[in-house]
Structure 1
Amino acid sequence: MSEEKKKKSNQFTIMKDDSTDGHGGYGVGSISLENISPVIIDPNEDRAFVDMGAMHARSEVERRVKFLPNKEEVPNGKLYWIVWVTVEREDTGAYYHGVTGCEVRVDRSIKRAYKSMPEHVNHMDKSMKGHVIVDHMDERSKQLLGDFLRDFDAEMWENSAEELKQALPKQ
């Protein structure tokens, strides 16, 4: 697949409807996941991509492995990050609202992997609330994430908070 086709297939899910738009009907006050997308950071292959399968623990890196609750049980696991990216819209346009990274370790040779489910749930929630939590990520992964977000949509990057720009500086 060409690089251009790959880039076009990596699409963020942007909010379509607001469940609290004043109609007062079913779903008012419910949480909508329509504006959050999982970005997979693979520092082993120097790539970053959107994989909506991660919403249900079915991303490319999560398939065909059994998850274990202890990192020590996957000592030779390759490092990946699932980064929850929330997009919001203001009068000035769309912007990256929340960005939170969660570690995943995968050892394909033993078909085992590690991730903390509570961390993923909490970080997804914090992303939707506008938090930026990437300081625990390695520098290469932060660089890949920052480049991906800037390249994906420069205008959304420019509209984003300074906190995000400081957390993912351009190298």
Structure 2
Amino acid sequence: MELNLTGRDKHSTPDELQNLSAVMIHGDDIFVDQGAIHGKSRLERGIDFRAAKGPEDVPNGEKIAVIWVTLKTYEAGRGFSGIASAELVIDFPHGIGYKAMGPLVNQMDRAVKGRVDVSNLTSEQKAKLADFLQQLRADLWANTPDEVKAQLA
């Protein structure tokens, strides 16, 4: 008997994730890190997330905002569509952290579906994100609906 196996030899991305990006805010730094989509951002590497059952288990942790951002083609062209944020808590010197997978995945899903939920960001973080997106791709920002932009004000 012979097994007839097929498979892919290249990594592929599901269609619904092709327009997804991850923006991270860590203190004064803000940057795109696509590794966050798979839980492997540069800030997450080497951190033990199994040790903490909740954020209180990371007493010296720093809060890191993970913002899922998606694109959509509008009449005027491609622009930002879904923007949803979640949070990580990491104690870098001790190599431990906490991330609630439910909120991270749910917020990613909201962004993929074109929803905006940045309720856990401070007004300073929202302004920083708006400035970052404008500078990153002015063309995308120009095509973004006002109702999306307003939620970052």
Scaled by the length of structure 2, what TM-score is found? 0.84
Is 1:75 the equivalent of 2:59? yes
The answer for unaligned runs of 5 or more in structure 2 is: 1-13
CA shift digits 1:31-73 (9 cap, x unpaired) = 531100011112x2x1211111111111011111111331110
Deviation at 1:159, TM superposition (A): 1.6
Q: Matches of residues 5-154 of structure 1 in structure 2 within 5 Å?
A: 31-42=15-26, 44=27, 46-67=28-49, 68-154=52-138
Deviation at 1:144, TM superposition (A): 1.6
Q: Distance in 2 between matches of 1:87 and 1:139?
A: 23
Q: Distance in 1 between matches of 2:70 and 2:39?
A: 18
Instruction: Supply the AA of the counterpart residue of 1:57.
Output: G
Indicate the RMSD between aligned Cα atoms, in angstroms: 1.4
Partner of 1:66, secondary structure, is coil
CA shift digits 1:151-170 (9 cap, x unpaired) = 1122211221223211212x
Does the Cα contact within 8 Å between 2:16 and 2:112 map onto a contact in 1?
no
Is 1:160 the equivalent of 2:128? no
Q: Number of residues paired by the alignment?
A: 138
Instruction: Supply the AA of the counterpart residue of 2:32.
Output: V
CA shift digits 1:94-121 (9 cap, x unpaired) = 1101000111111012211111101111
Q: Distance in 2 between matches of 1:166 and 1:90?
A: 17
The answer for unaligned runs of 5 or more in structure 1 is: 1-29
Q: Distance in 2 between matches of 1:57 and 1:71?
A: 17
Does the Cα contact within 8 Å between 2:71 and 2:79 map onto a contact in 1?
yes
Does the Cα contact within 8 Å between 1:88 and 1:94 map onto a contact in 2?
yes
From the CA coordinates, give the structure whose radius of gyration is larger. 2
Does the Cα contact within 8 Å between 1:98 and 1:130 map onto a contact in 2?
yes
